[in-house]
Amino acid sequence: MKKVLSLLLILSVFSSCQQKLTRPLKGNYPTDYTIISEKSSDELWNDIIAYCSESGIKLKIIDRKSGLIVSQWYKLGTYTFENQDGTLRENGANVVLGCETPGKFIADCQPPTIIWTFINFKLNEKNNKISLTVRLSDLKAWYSEWEYLKQVKSTGFLEKQIIDKIFNAHN
């Protein structure tokens, strides 16, 4: 009986140290951004590669046949949380995080130490038009060496910024 009580005590101590999702995300956030281009497929492809090179985005997949370009892990710089009504606390952040707390203080949202993502570029040709889709995938907001936050979503700000820069290249 003493062993069972000791085990229950240990489990309760460890479970109290874990992050608790106290305010899940309410807002609707885009999963990607797509734009139709008048540029040729070759020109747009070259603009994407040039943008990545100039922005320090290292690429791990460049598949011209499928129209897919995927970055290596990319470190994001800005994040925000939501207000109680589901609106962003700060506009212009790359990602929004669900509020997770490290214990008793429900109002204290756990800030991340680092946020990583893959940036995906997808070119599609349909009816002699080229579309470019930019999407952040596998978002991870780490707050310790081994643990990450449960809810991380893109705000769409970075994807829109990338598309604007790619389409304004050479204009």
- β-strands 68-71, 79-81: how paired? unpaired
Identify whether the C-beta of residue 45 lies closer than 8 Å to the C-beta of residue 53.
no
Residue 99 CB neighbours (<10 A): 21
pLDDT digits (tens, 9 = 90+) for 82-95: 998 999 999 999 99
pLDDT confidence tier of residue 81, bands split at 50, 70 and 90: very high
Q: What is the mean pLDDT of residues 41-57?
A: 94
CATH code at 19-167: 3.30.530.50
Phi, psi of 94 (to 5 degrees): -70, -40
Write down the domain spans for the chain.
19-167
What per-residue confidence (pLDDT) applies to 123?
Answer: 96
| pLDDT value at 21 more than 80 | no
Half-sphere exposure of 4 (CA within 13 A, CB side): 1
